[in-house]
A = this chain, B = another copy of it.
Amino acid sequence: MPQARVAVPDKALRTLVSDLFTAHGVSREHAETVADVLVWANLRGVDSHGVSRIPRYLELFENGQANPRPNIVVDVLRPAVAILDADAAPGPVALTRAMDEAVSMARSAGAAWVAVRGTVHTGAIGYYTERAAQYGMAGMGIVAGVPNMAYPGSDSAAVATSPLSVAVPAGRHPTVLLDMATAVIALGRIAQLKAQGKQLPEGAAITRDGRVTTDPAEAAIPLPVGGAKGAGMSLLFEMLAGGLTGNPIVTGYHSGEPEGRRHRQNALLMAIDIAAFAPVEEFRGIVDDTVDAIKALPKADPDAEILVPGERGAHTLDERSASGVPLPRKLVDELARLAADKGVTVPQEMA
């Protein structure tokens, strides 16, 4: 049965998130960054990475796995590479800072990679690569985390559903924005389908004991997209992010030590300054023309629109900016309870 939903204006939602995080000791600046990243995901329809994550974020503060007052240190190693020690900062805080550093370094070096060591849940990484695109740059990002996905030959939580995101700025069209898990289906999406009473697609996930299932209630371990391809990407992302930061996750997880299962993530964000290669307007023109060529492809179903990456999210953003973010009643109530616990005022639109 579909749940009742409450349409909350994005501005009110951002205010609530920011107030909730400051009430947990996060600085106003960092709290506003977290609010921006989470509400951005909701606005674009990626509800699995939006404010539904707040209870978990706050739990990470409470059990000491996330740090509300992190001492973030950026070490510029060479003109095009830096490492950001996140000190267990919430992912949105660490990764927004990292992408801003990458953009700033790319202005002089032409491109830059910033490795992020030891953050917690990064949110939708499309936020950071789209941020590079807003500066007229191409953005790329990968994240590596605690194993939760199968690997060819092993029906266990072997590697993470580590995402890849690439964004390029367009002109007439919205930013072309790919943001994909290396799994057939993300864990957040499984939870969403469960809440909606829907089935999983075939071949998307297995149960805890390795049985293929389409029931989201018993689906525990997503399968890698394309088998060895998705698993290989995830493994290489782990080796790059964990190796460059000296903070591997997969080895610790499989070592059997409880500490190895602690929630943590590493990331690598990259910006390429398009202006080093050509006038940005020419690049935007090529992206626009390519989008037009794709949308004009012969259609398998004449009534179905052909979409480019990020297009559906951009449409949803327009709709939800106008009419609010539709949140399940249950989530609104949970956020209201978390707010009440800390004496935070809930926006009247959510009452």
Contacts and interface: CB of A to CB of B under 8 A. Distances in A.
A290 B272 CA distance: 30
A178 B111 contact: no
A297 interface: yes
Q: Please classify the interface of chain A as helix (H, G, I), strand (E, B), loop, or mixed, using the class held by over half of its residues.
A: mixed
A109 interface: yes
Contact of A152 (B77, B228, B250, B306): B306
Contacts of A305: 153
Contact of A154 (B229, B272, B277, B297): B297
Contacts of A151: 294, 297, 306
A256 to B, nearest CB: 11
B287 A109 contact: no
Among A151, A168, A233, A293, find the residue whose CB has the most chain B CB atoms closer than 10 A: A293
A254 B293 contact: yes
22 contacts: A77-B277, A78-B111, A79-B80, A79-B108, A79-B110, A80-B111, A81-B109, A111-B112, A151-B306, A152-B307, A153-B304, A153-B307, A154-B298, A154-B299, A158-B294, A176-B235, A180-B233, A232-B309, A242-B290, A244-B278, A246-B278, A251-B293
Given A239-B290, A246-B277, 18 more contacts: A77-B110, A79-B79, A80-B106, A81-B276, A111-B113, A151-B297, A154-B297, A154-B299, A154-B306, A180-B226, A225-B225, A228-B309, A235-B309, A236-B309, A244-B277, A244-B283, A248-B289, A251-B290
Interface of A: 77-81, 83, 106, 108-113, 115, 138, 151-156, 158-159, 164, 166, 168, 176, 178, 180, 184, 210, 225-226, 228-230, 232-233, 235-236, 238-240, 242-246, 248, 250-251, 253-255, 272-274, 276-278, 282-283, 286-287, 289-290, 292-294, 296-301, 304-309
